[in-house]
Amino acid sequence: RTFMRTTALAAGLLSAGIAPFALAAKGGNSGGSQTARNPLRIPPTIAPGGAALTAAPASVNLGGGKLSSVLAYNGFFPGPTFRANNGDVADIAFTNGLAAETTIHWHGMIVPPAADGHPVDAVMPGASYAYQFPVEQRACLNWYHPHPHMKTGEQVALGLAGAFIVNDAEEAALNLPSGLHEVPLILRDANFDSSGNLTYTAKSSGFLGKTPLVNGTLNPQLVVDTAIYRFRVLNGANARVFRLALSNGAPFVVIGNDGGLLDTAPASVVELEFGPGERLDILVDFRDLAVDDRVMLRCLSAGWDLLEFAVARAVTVAGEIPVGALSTITALADPVLTREFSFDGMSRINGRVYDMHRIDFQVPLGQTERWRFKTGGNAPHPVHVHGASFQVVSRTGGRGRVLPWERGWKDTVLLLDGETVDVLIRFDAYRGLYVMHCHKLEHEDMGMMSNFEVV
Ligand code: C2O
Ligand code: CU
């Protein structure tokens, strides 16, 4: 059943110039034992100009020795990585090959409302939709995923998500690690049935899977050189907060986050905590390791080994950690008003459950505002805004400060119980309808989301 579908899909991929290697029935996994490590999958890269993207069921090898039924974009789990330069134009012909309605939201991309994947713009099963938008923003790691009304959690958990990388001249001038030394890492958790197929059960407290996946790979290993690596890390989980550390105690050198490079010097930290929807741009220095050394990327909060780095090759051109400020960012200032948003229970913002046909507030284009996010319990609530990035200016309660990796531009910020987070935001690009919501996808699906209109 799945093979017929993937064969047809493969023909489409070939015409789009994409090698369908992920559709192959068997990959190079190293056998059935629990501790065997599988090569980390790297999704293929495509350009967003004149691209074709189909969401459909697929059967993929996650490295566990058997095929898993998932939902996939172009047959890949995670979906292909879009890579664009600031100034490119995206024109993505999307086809919904699912049995349910869906949309695509380009999380972190500043796009016109008609291309934003708002639930009112549902693409019905079998239908197509052209997502067209100019890529006009600084270099950063964004991502794309479904955003249909009340079904986002299910569709993401079953596999629909991919990365969207934007490059620019400022970033290029830093000579950061690239090619095989720049690796996207899409972290998530998952549950499987007894045949190894992805499963989903909605829970009002948020879906927490028992098994970690990195780039859709079970027990992954990345073979590395004695060099500096750049990891573009996405928390693509429905609800899980990851707290990352390296087994050798080495630091992560944070150079960027959701909205691109930091305006500080790189920040060295031995632990990083980030919530669903957030991204991290980090360097890890393997230069002092020896061939055959092993380092594990761990999630401390779940007690998981996420990804093993196996040093296989000593190299002399190994890169350098940049010194000094990575970028300059103009601070937003002098907000003309403050709006408060209380994330109440598991399904309400300021007491109201989402209604996709109700506009909850209006924001003038070009006006700087302070948005204050507070919790009424049931946190963490990763708060995400469409249509603009924001700057986190304060956090009180709980962790009590803006963390080093929360500087600069963000579009998602993690709110823990008892915390109040203030951000400054200004919508500069487009008028029209956007949403703001909790990115714990079960909260979003239950209604912890607001419509607003930029006017
Ligand atoms: Cu990543 Cu409105 O979502
Ligand atoms: Cu929430």
Q: Please write the tens of the pLDDT for every residue from 352-395.
A: 999 999 999 999 999 999 999 999 889 999 999 999 999 999 99
- Residue nearest atom 3 in ligand 1 by C-alpha distance: 107
Phi, psi of 9 (to 5 degrees): -65, -40
- The average pLDDT across 59-78 equals 93
Residues of the chain above pLDDT 70, percent: 92
What separation in Å is there between the alpha carbon of 27 and the centre of ligand 1? Answer: 32
Q: What is the pLDDT of residue 35?
A: 65
Task: Count Cβ atoms below 10 Å from residue 16 Cβ, excluding itself.
Answer: 17
47, 39 in Cβ contact below 8 A?
Answer: no
CA angle 361, 367, 371 (to 5 degrees): 55
Q: Do domains 2-172 and 338-454 have the same CATH topology?
A: yes
pLDDT single digits (tens) 156-199: 999 999 999 999 999 999 999 999 999 999 999 999 999 999 99
Closest atom of ligand 1 to 277 CA is 1
What value does the mean pLDDT of the chain take?
92
pLDDT single digits (tens) 325-342: 999 999 999 999 999 999
Torsion angle in degrees (nearest 10) through CA of 130, 134, 140, 141: 0
14, 46 in Cβ contact below 8 A?
Answer: no
Ligand nearest to the CA of 414: 2
Q: Domain 2-172: which topology?
A: Immunoglobulin-like (2.60.40)
* Coil, strand or helix at 393: strand
* Number of alpha carbons in the 13 Å side-chain half-sphere of residue 68: 27
CA distance 177 to 175: 7
The two three-digit tokens of residue 128, written as one number: 């197509």
What separation in Å is there between the alpha carbon of 147 and the centre of ligand 1? Answer: 7
Enumerate residues lining ligand 1, CB below 6 A.
105, 107, 145, 147, 277, 384, 386, 435, 437, 439
Given the candidates 3.30.70.1450, 2.60.40.420, 3.40.190.10, 3.40.50.720, the CATH classification of the domain at 179-313 is 2.60.40.420
Q: Is the ipTM of this complex over 0.95?
A: yes
CA distance 415 to 399: 10
DSSP 240: P
CA distance 157 to 137: 28
What separation in Å is there between the alpha carbon of 38 and the centre of ligand 2? Answer: 34
Ligand nearest to the CA of 444: 2
Could you state, in order of their start, the residue ranges of all structural domains in the chain?
Answer: 2-172, 179-313, 338-454
What separation in Å is there between the alpha carbon of 219 and the centre of ligand 2? Answer: 29
